[in-house]
Structure 1
């Protein structure tokens, strides 16, 4: 008798509870009508506090839309957003959609080479950019990329290197170091002048355009992390954004207004969908921090009564290392992602367990998840069931054939939040003949439709005949006090095939014990998964992408070099 194939169909999208409007203009209109006078956006900056209600956010978004229309933005025009997390980011995102355009979210970590690539590939017509982010001067970078920007007047850009770019709009940086002055570009309007440009466009024009934006229209461009080459441009529909906005509160069991914080950029699909979704879909507020600053986080959490913190274990480790850690107040917290280190604090009394979920940028964050409270979530290897509308198959990565249920293979997905495609790539380069996206991730499914994800196929460590996921080991290591970054790799071994090696960056000033960490891991991992070697590196030695993701291949090479014995004379 043949075993059932690993082909899983989720319930249809029409049966998903809690959904509202599925275009970006429809979404912001609906939440504004529900929560009009509630506080929606908060940002502390240089001793001042900006507070926007839902009505303010709507009006600011309409103002941006009017100005974009005045700049010539029409259906599917690309509008670049190069900013830290600030109120204008939100009005730019929703305003672009209201005008009929497509938001292109660009990382503030971008190097000049990456920025040129992103602008060219995305064919940005209007770039809304923050002039300085810490030491980085984006005006100067843009001027170096295209000297013609200095000669042009606002609205009259004619760029040989960036032929689609017609308008530049700058905002004063909120993280720029004191005493620094950004480079000026003759062709760039400042934000206030940009808003004035739209005053001759009737609001009725914006409303008419917004009504013509459909859920399956293009909504935004994200970029892959670029760990092996230049980032790919990932085009998403309107509903890819909004479905995830509506989903997070249901999946995480949020039954009251949520005051949501993150220190991670909205140019990543996870932080964007989580923070906007948990806050605005519940009638709560986004508590914005332009960049992660551990010294400011503790007071921000307390003073703004934050209920949800979204971040990563290495950020929690930085908080834990602060002198004021013992005086921190986490009593308002109800949800925190991967927050074991925060939960060690005596004021953190939440009993919430983060639902395991799996997704990619190509699926606009999650494609499978548990709902809060499911006891099966206790298994860290289990990433829940497919979200409504999705179809998943597990295939042999070499032949593409579907494997039997329970057998390991490559995870393939299609569904309502799957990307429309990569820019510059034909459909057959993005999807297989059945329309599935082959994720490059390994895993298997059980008879209940649960996905057991095992990490990137090319990252899986094969040791002593077993397959080991670096992700599982790194999750355990990240819970050890004093760890800032961790990347587990496999290095060649004569008898094991590969040996498991943990590569760790401690928090500055911390001295970690290899023996103590090994003992800690033996209590949490099967014996064959405990690293045989633990190597410590400085932050400067650790290779990261522009988006602060670890370059696993380069770390592996570092580990091999470190472990090599000196040749005998």
Structure 2
């Protein structure tokens, strides 16, 4: 692993280039690949080209592209010279795109013209700060003498802003969270052991790079550890299985639903290179943990990914089953009362607040006083409690929990119960107002499901008042409504359930 003092993107790239990692592949996709030495040279020359086009330290540069080697090249080139990267969702509609460009005060924009049916009409975007827009092809053609980039890179400090990541929250508009080189790389480094990522790892991660789950847990995790990142623009079972075999992937992280779909298509595919820590649907029985024994990593865009977890290749103590593991080093977690904000003792549930060097530096267009408490904690809006041994148990969102006949229902608890039913691949739970009361609604994705069987199974797991009374059975996850950032659109889901 690189020296812990290498806390800027430029320093990390240089560290690997001057080590035995130079000839190792840093990133590969179905059509291209780069060694660490090639990543260093190509991004330095590209960065010099960006400088010639007017980009400087502190310039805010938006990026709209599908996952791939070229996304990584552009992002690394920009961050090496201190430009502030603004990854933007390929799912954004024109109005949403304009709003985020304005929110982040983007000055330069690099974008593909179209991806998966989405077009980005940049000629119709009106953003006062926007100075220039380039297609991805144009931007990748920029080049210059690397000395220009090297000189500017020496001016970049660990405390400088590195990236503005937009949240994918389901309530309210997305927030632009500002992260420095130090806090982002520190957050990534703190979670590497829990995610079983080392310098020998060949990591496949399908999450889009415009999410912190793809950018932090994918690109930057591989860069910090000196691992190899394997990615693709559009995951499909056949192409993904081919890629996993071709690249001898050792760690498969991402969505459990995707792993389960791949397992159903695997057939004679050779996935023997996968190691413990990968999603278990793709592992042989002898390499799997006991059901419920693994932690569900807990994190958010504001913490630059997971801030709590447990080694993915090991079982937690039985007393901690169902928890998210323990907070990582560098993260201070406290639980406070929902109404009073007073700190609660171990074992009592309330709002989770976090503080530490890995938390975001701030939110676009908000003052520090609007974001943090007086003593520096960030109120996450998540609910949970810490047990006597310091394990954190998640209990849903404070803005999602609701009452049914005076009793509290946590959607995450109901969804977890539904996912334990055989045949269920995914479950999404919301409240559906019925006059002045609430009903529990659930959209369940799976095969051969019936409402009667689901209702009977969940009655065995959770209290009767938590069992859904409104059901929507779906065959594919794509039928679940989602917003521009890819998060489930709870309002649209409620509307669908109201008709059931």
Q: Same fold (TM over 0.5)?
A: yes
Q: 1:301 to 1:249 in 2, by over 3 A?
A: same
Q: Secondary structure at the match of 1:163?
A: coil
Residue 352 of structure 2 corresponds to 411
Preserved CA contact (<8 Å) 2:61 2:109:
yes
CA contact (8 A) 2:27 2:35 kept: yes
Residues 1:191 and 2:139 aligned together = yes
Q: Tell me: CA distance 1:398–1:560, structure 2 relative to 1, closer, same or farther (3 Å).
A: same
Instruction: Provide the residue aligned with 1:148 in structure 2.
Output: none
2:122 match: 142
Q: Tell me, yes or no, if structure 1 residue 513 matches structure 2 residue 450.
A: yes
Conserved in 2, the CA contact under 8 Å of 1:97 and 1:213? no
1:66, CA displacement in angstroms? Answer: 0.6
Provide closer, same or farther for how the CA distance between residues 33 and 470 of structure 1 changes in structure 2, counting only shifts above 3 A: farther
Task: State the superposition RMSD in angstroms.
Answer: 3.0
Query: Are 1:342 and 2:282 counterparts?
Result: yes
Q: Which runs of 5+ in 1 are unaligned?
A: 1-16, 146-160, 173-189, 563-569
- In structure 2, the partner of 1:98 is 80
Q: 1:213 aligns with which of 142, 156, 171?
A: 156
Q: Return the offset for 1:382.
A: 1.6
CA deviation profile, 1:38-73 (whole Å, cap 9, x unmatched)? 1111111xxxx3121111111121122111211222
1:289 maps to 232
| Structure-2-length-normalised TM-score | 0.89
Q: 1:342 to 1:529 in 2, by over 3 A?
A: farther
SS of 1:36's partner is helix
The structural deviation recorded for 1:279 is 3.1
Tell whether 2:26 aligns with 1:78: no
The structure 1 residue matched to 2:23, chosen from 16, 37, 40, is 37
Once the two structures are TM-superposed, the CA of residue 559 in structure 1 deviates from its matched residue by 2.4
Q: Distance in 1 between matches of 2:277 and 2:464?
A: 29
Match of 1:315 in 2: 258
Change (3 A) 1:255 1:265: closer
What SS does structure 1 have at the residue aligned with 2:124?
A: helix
Q: Does 1:24 align with 2:4?
A: no
| Residue correspondences, number | 494
Candidates 487, 507, 522, aligned match of 2:428: 487
Contact 1:126–1:167 under 8 Å retained in 2: yes
1:167 and 2:132 are equivalent in the alignment: yes
Which residue does the alignment assign to 1:444?
A: 385
CA-CA distance at 1:36 after TM superposition: 0.6
Matches within 5 A, 1:421-436: 421-436=362-377
**Secondary structure class of the residue paired with 1:447:** coil
Does structure 2 retain, via aligned residues, the 8 Å contact 1:488–1:503? Answer: yes
Shift of 1:278: 4.5
Task: Please state if 1:454 is matched with 2:395.
Answer: yes
**Which SS does the other structure have where 1:435 is aligned?**
coil
Give the Cα–Cα distance (whole angstroms) in 2 for the partners of residues 494 and 377 of structure 1. 42
Shift of 1:102: 0.6
Alignment partners' CA distance in 1, 2:52 and 2:394: 48
Out of 316, 320, 343, the residue aligned to residue 375 of structure 1 is 316
Does residue 302 (structure 1) correspond to residue 245 (structure 2)? The answer is yes
| Structure 1 contact 240–417 (Cα < 8 Å) conserved | yes
Cα distance change of structure 1 residues 126 and 399 upon mapping to structure 2, 3 Å threshold? same
Shift of the 254–336 alpha-carbon distance from structure 1 to 2, 3 Å rule, reads closer
SS at match of 1:279: helix
In the alignment, structure 2 segments of 5+ residues that lack a partner are none
Provide the rounded CA distance (Å) in 2 between the counterparts of 1:245 and 1:55.
22
* 1:489 aligned counterpart, secondary structure: strand
Distance 2:318 2:204 in 1: 24
Q: Is the 8 A contact 1:19 1:243 kept in 2?
A: no
Structure 2 counterpart of 1:397, from 338, 351, 355: 338
Task: Give CA deviations for 1:337-395 in whole Å, capped at 9, x if unaligned.
Answer: 6x35434xxx5753367543211111111222223435237744322222222222222
In the alignment, the residues of structure 1 paired with residue 63 and residue 318 of structure 2 have an alpha-carbon distance, to the nearest angstrom, of 36
The answer (yes or no) to whether the contact 1:19–1:247 under 8 Å persists in 2 is: no
Q: Quote how far apart the aligned CAs of 1:227 are.
A: 2.6
User: Structure 1 residues 305 and 354 mapped into 2: Cα distance closer, same or farther (>3 Å)?
Assistant: farther
Of the structure 1 ranges 274-283 and 264-273, higher mean CA displacement relative to structure 2 is found in 274-283
The equivalent of 1:472 in structure 2 is: 413
The 5 A counterparts of 1:198-277 are 199=144, 202-254=145-197, 257-277=200-220
SS of residue in 2 equivalent to 1:236: strand
Structure number with greater Rg is 1
TM-score calculated relative to the size of structure 1: 0.79
SS in 1 for 2:183: helix
In the alignment, is the contact (CA less than 8 A) between 2:202 and 2:248 conserved in 1? yes
- 1:491 and 1:476 map into 2 onto residues whose CA distance is 19
C-alpha distance in 1 between matches for 2:423 and 2:449:
7
Deviation at 1:255, TM superposition (A): 5.1
Change (3 A) 1:99 1:134: same
The one of the two structures with greater contact order (alpha-carbon pairs below 8 A, sep at least 6) is 1
Go from structure 1 to structure 2 and tell me whether the alpha carbon gap of 1:380 and 1:84 turns closer, same or farther (over 3 Å shift).
farther
